[in-house]
Copies of this chain bind each other. A is one copy, B any other.
Amino acid sequence: MKHNYLDNIPLSEAKERFFSLVCHSLETLKAENVETFLSAGRVTKNALYAKICSPHYNASAMDGISVKARDTYGASENTPVVLSKEQYTVVDTGDPIPDNHDAVIMVEDISEDEKGNVTIYSAVHPWQNVRQVGEDICMGDMIAPSLTVVTPSLCGAILAGGITHFEAVKRPVLGIIPTGDEIVPPTENPGKGDIIEFNSSIFSSMVKEWGGESRVYPIVKDKKDLLEAAVKKGTEECDVLLILAGSSAGRDDYTCEIIKNLGTVCVHGIAVKPGKPAVLGKIGEVPVVGLPGYPVSAIVIMENIVRDLVYRMGGLAVPEKKKVKAVLGKRIVSSLKYHEFVRVTLGKVGESFTAVPLMRGAGVVTSFTKADGILEIPQDSEGAEQGEEVEITLLKSADEISTSLIVTGSHDPMIDEIKDIMKKRGYPFTLSSSHVGSMGAINAIKSKSAHLGGIHLLDTQSGEYNKSYVEKYFPDGSAKLYKGVGRIQGLMVRKGNPLDIKDFSDVTRCVYVNRQLGSGTRILCDYLIGKYGIDKAKLEGYRNEEFTHTAVAALIASGNADCGLGIYSAAKMYGLDFIPVSTEKYGFLVNVKAESDEAVRAFFEILESDELKERLTQMGGYSF
């Protein structure tokens, strides 16, 4: 077992070292000849000057007749002028006007007799209704300076200036080499230990968004010679090389060593979290980045280092990331060793944004897909307190987030189904949901970080659901309870019930999997533990906490646990047996101030809809 410690270089210093190492690639922009017709989105390498005028001849601006202006002088309603066939030429819009003519009369303003003479009732002055040579563009005029992004209309203007091809900045090509013995191409049926290679799809899509191109190479096994050959080939064929995984200092981590052998390493280990085990260097003139294997770690390195590189090599200014101020909805602790990037959801219920941190695991790619923004905690800070004002870097537009309906609380797949129906119906807002448990819902409604909160809270004294909690936590009536659905809770066990579980008292014979504190299901669990006089400390797996019904079901199906409490639909989905325990009321808490919001009304409309009922019936375990 080999282990070397990495450096822990501050992000700004790491960037500085890297960009001075690869400055040649940043300053010497490569160019390629492009067809103007297809050039929208490209960046001009040099200034473009018109080769011809536009129009390049005197063109009629109207349908009508071209004339000599002086032939029309004196014409008026009372003194009309008649022009003979020889004095005019019929022209359509865009037609060249004859050399001896200098004006056009609109077809609407003339009357023609059988012989072809026309009568006009007002004079035209020279060049009236004529687009003279160069009206739009004059030969020699600069149509676009260097390093200009070609917009659709600029594309037209360049063509109008007679430029059919030009030198554009070459889009940097980023080679991406996925590595690892356990890595397999995308599949629906991975074997045990197979890791689906999805990182390269994320990074190649990011590169494209930043104006680069990507070339994804086949997966390379953890063999030093194979990887070295692949890296050599990559640096010959690409402008930048990204090596996925193997960037740390473990027994199979060859990235750093290979870059060192073939070129220069300037950083190995950056003081960011996630993202520490990154390697920065170059081989020949090609910048090379060793990215960590965890998707979220790698995304942090991509966003904070590679993004700048791609934009700059493409001749583009690096766009500033949009930021908003937000109130932190939950305390967050961070190490002094790292500059940390925390994914957060944002909601705007009242006047201000509330930011709620998402799961911080570096392997949780869905923390990025669910995130609305990033909270950066500097290296010298220990974190931030709940209620503190923080700055969030946006991943979505502030408008989209502002109009989002925030639904939080207890996990139920029903919320996702409502989200889907909302999308299908074309409402102008999206639903943003998170699973924080029923008690989390109460907190979120109290702190105005959500519009709606899903709860199923058993009053263990009365046996009733939800009501007494609302009375206790919202004595001022600032939140209302809306009826939701009935749900069957029960014990999920493996198919065939091999341990012969009959009721909750049998969990002592099992490895249990629990739900997180504050969830309605956990309250039910603790109530049943009390009722059956079970010793928590001796219940194996009691401390193994999950956040959703499907996560509990997944652990039972995989054999990590024998049983756990959850809803019927989750058991059904995973082919588990189900021993019903209770039918609970799943309701929605609404901030009364948000009650009449369009989005809240739409939510309840869908909740009552036959479309949703059909879907829930399909899933099973619900009553209405």
Binding site for B on A (CB under 8 A): 1, 3, 36-38, 40-41, 47, 51-59, 61, 63-65, 90, 92-96, 99, 102, 107-108, 110, 112, 125-127, 131-148, 151-157, 159-160, 162-164, 180, 182, 186-190, 192-193, 195-196, 198-199, 201-203, 205-206, 208-209, 248, 250-252, 293-295, 299, 317, 320, 361, 363-366, 368-369, 399, 413, 416-417, 419-420, 422-424, 426, 428, 541, 543-544, 548, 550-551, 553-555, 557-560, 570, 573-574
Whether A202 lies near B155 (C-beta < 8 A) is: yes
Q: Which 7 A-B pairs have the closest CB atoms?
A: A40-B205, A134-B554, A152-B205, A159-B198, A138-B550, A153-B368, A142-B416
B573, A125: Cβ atoms closer than 8 Å? no
Q: When the two chains form their complex, are residues A250 and B366 in contact, meaning their CB atoms are under 8 A apart?
A: no
Q: Given A182-B95, A424-B147, are A553 and B369 neighbors across the interface (CB < 8 Å)?
A: no
- Which residues of B sit under 8 angstroms from A135, Cβ to Cβ? 361, 363-364
Chain B neighbourhood of A36, CB < 8 A: 186, 201
Beyond A93-B294, A132-B555, A137-B366, 10 additional pairs, beta carbon < 8 A: A1-B90, A36-B201, A95-B193, A127-B560, A133-B560, A134-B554, A144-B369, A147-B423, A155-B205, A157-B366
Tell whether A416 pairs with B145 under 8 Å between CB atoms, given A94-B180, A155-B205, A250-B93: yes
Other-chain contact of A136, B180, B363, B559 (Cβ < 8 Å): B363
Q: Are A196 and B162 in contact (CB under 8 A)?
A: yes
Query: CA of A146 to CA of B384 in the docked complex: distance in angstroms?
Result: 36
- 30 A-B Cβ contacts within 8 A? A1-B64, A1-B65, A1-B112, A40-B201, A41-B205, A41-B208, A47-B416, A47-B420, A54-B196, A54-B365, A57-B192, A58-B558, A58-B560, A92-B251, A93-B250, A94-B195, A96-B192, A126-B541, A131-B363, A133-B554, A133-B558, A137-B366, A141-B548, A142-B417, A142-B420, A145-B422, A148-B423, A152-B203, A157-B368, A160-B196
Cα-based distance from A47 to B423 in the complex (angstroms): 10
Q: Do A551 and B201 touch (CB < 8 A)? A: no
A574 contact set on B, CB distance < 8 A: 139-140
Considering the chains assembled together, what is the distance between the CA atoms of A206 and B53 in angstroms?
Answer: 25
CB distance from A177 to the nearest CB of B (A): 16
Give, as a whole number of angstroms, the nearest-CB distance from A368 to chain B: 4
B residues less than 8 Å from A423 (CB atoms) = 145-148
This chain's copy number in the assembly: 2
Given contacts A159-B196, A201-B36, contact A428 B164 (CB under 8 A): no
Q: Which residues from chain B contact A155 at a C-beta distance below 8 Å?
A: 198, 201-202, 205
Contacts of A369 in B (CB 8 A): 143-144, 151, 153-154, 157
Is A142 a contact of B196 with CB atoms below 8 Å? Answer: no
Query: Given A1-B107, A399-B320, A550-B134, A164–B187 Cβ distance below 8 Å?
Result: yes
A250 and B108 alpha carbons, distance in the complex (Å): 11
Cβ of A54: which chain B residues have Cβ within 8 Å of it?
196, 365
Kindly state the separation between the CA atoms of A110 and B1 in the bound complex, as whole angstroms: 10
Q: How far is the CB of A132 from chain B (nearest CB, A)?
A: 6
**Residue in A126, A186, A364 with the greatest tally of chain B CB atoms within 10 Å:** A186
Most buried by B among A138, A162, A399, A416: A138
- List B contacts of A293 (CB < 8 A): 93-94
B-side contacts of A208, CB under 8 Å = 40-41
Please tell me if the beta carbons of B136 and A365 are within 8 angstroms of each other in the complex. Answer: yes
In the complex formed, the residue of B with least CB distance to A162 is: B188
Complexed CA–CA distance, A369 and B355 (Å)? 40
Closest B residue to A145 by beta carbon equals B420
Which residues from B are CB-within-8-Å of A205? Answer: 40-41, 151-152, 155
